[in-house]
Amino acid sequence: MNTSPLSLEASYRYSQSLAKRTAKNFYYSFMGLPPECFQSMCVLYAFMRICDDIGDDESVDLDVRRERLQQWREQLRVALAEDRYQHDVFPALVETVRSHHLPPDYLYAVIDGVSTDLEPHEIATFDQLAQYCYCVAGAVGLCCIHIWGFDEDERAINAAIDCGMAFQLTNILRDIAEDSQMGRVYLPRDELARFGYSIEDLQQGRQTPQFRELMTFQVERARKYYDRANDLFDYLSPTGKPILRAMVKIYSGLLDEIEQREYDVFSERISLPKWRKLLIAAESVVRQPWLRRMGSEAPSVAPW
């Protein structure tokens, strides 16, 4: 890991570069934010991306990845508590945490979620899946609303968690084939059994009637979480509403694609075309009152 951290300004540039290069769906959603929030979202994404990359690095064995994640957790603690930085993302991350009053527990939860994937585990029930989704997505949603601004209401917290759940369930359904080849099955075992579909069926990509029934159930449940996530609009600041709307359109659009392809998630990885994501991002920019007040000038930190 990098032991020569950048200056604060360079740390922000590093985070934006990483987000632009790898964020895909997320990055398009960031474009309508004011510059300071845009920077903070890039920093948050960069932190999450680094966590994932440590966990997913198949060039090293599992023991090394476990050790590196533990080191990453300790480096985060030291950065937050002592202002000592051992990675280029940390100067900007610490400022983001402090300026937005972001509870560090959410960041540690993300590391917990990545760590879960390194251990032999079986998701037996939906309750276990929900806990995993909280770590890798719900906690991220809570970070986001702190950056965007929100009414501090318990209902806002619950809606943000539901929103993260909706997004993660969509990711899980989209990535079924890829994950199963890596030995990761996130669909609860009791639900697989209920629909008469086995893990072997999943690994072989068998698109049976039972699989379509299973996927219909999964998509309908994800849509219920999108419906519940809509409550979050009642508590977000004006800055946050357009970006949330863009993210919901992008991720629910993926769910629509899965359904329109009759749940064929095996033939190719499902995604939205770039032009469609750009249109959604453009709509998000147009909806921003701060940008309209500036006479539609571009942000000082250009996302392009």
Q: Are 91 and 148 in contact (CB under 8 A)?
A: no
266 shares a domain with 136: yes
Give me 26's structure tokens.
């997320």
Q: Are both 84 and 132 inside the same structural domain?
A: no
In a domain, 71, yes or no: yes
Say which CATH number the domain at 147 has: 1.10.600.10
Q: Is residue 82 part of a domain?
A: yes
Residues 20 and 96 in one domain: yes
Same domain, 135 and 166: yes
DSSP-based three-state secondary structure for 91: helix
Q: How far apart are CA 147 and CA 153, in angstroms?
A: 15
- The answer as to whether 109 is a domain residue is no
Residues 60, 156 within the same domain: no
The pLDDT of residue 273 is 74
Three-state secondary-structure class, residue 43? helix
Rg, C-alpha atoms of the chain: 19
* The pLDDT value given to residue 92: 97
Domain count, the chain: 2
Q: Is residue 61 part of a domain?
A: yes
Give the pLDDT score at 301: 29
Kindly state whether residues 303 and 180 are assigned to the same domain. no
Listed in sequence order, the DSSP H helices in 149-239 are 154-174, 176-181, 189-194, 199-203, 209-229
Domain that holds residue 83: 1-102+288-304
> Does some domain include residue 222?
yes
Q: What is the pLDDT of residue 297?
A: 35
Instruction: Tell me: do 34 and 95 sit in the same domain.
Output: yes
Q: Does any domain span residue 225?
A: yes
The pLDDT value recorded for residue 58 is: 87
Identify whether residues 128 and 50 lie together within a single domain: no
Q: pTM value?
A: 0.85
Do 190 and 232 share a domain, yes or no?
yes
> For each of the chain's 304 residues, which pLDDT tens digit applies?
445 467 999 999 999 999 989 876 567 667 768 888 989 999 999 999 999 999 999 899 999 999 999 999 999 999 999 999 999 999 999 999 999 999 999 999 999 999 998 887 789 999 999 999 999 999 999 999 999 999 988 999 999 999 999 999 999 999 999 999 888 899 999 999 999 999 999 999 999 999 999 999 999 999 999 999 999 999 999 888 888 988 898 899 999 999 999 999 999 988 877 767 666 666 655 555 544 433 333 332 222 2
Claim to verify: residue 96 and residue 188 sit in the same structural domain: no
Residue 279 resides in a domain: no
Q: Are 258 and 153 contained in the same domain?
A: yes
Residues 126 and 266 reside in one and the same domain: yes
Is 26 a member of any domain?
A: yes
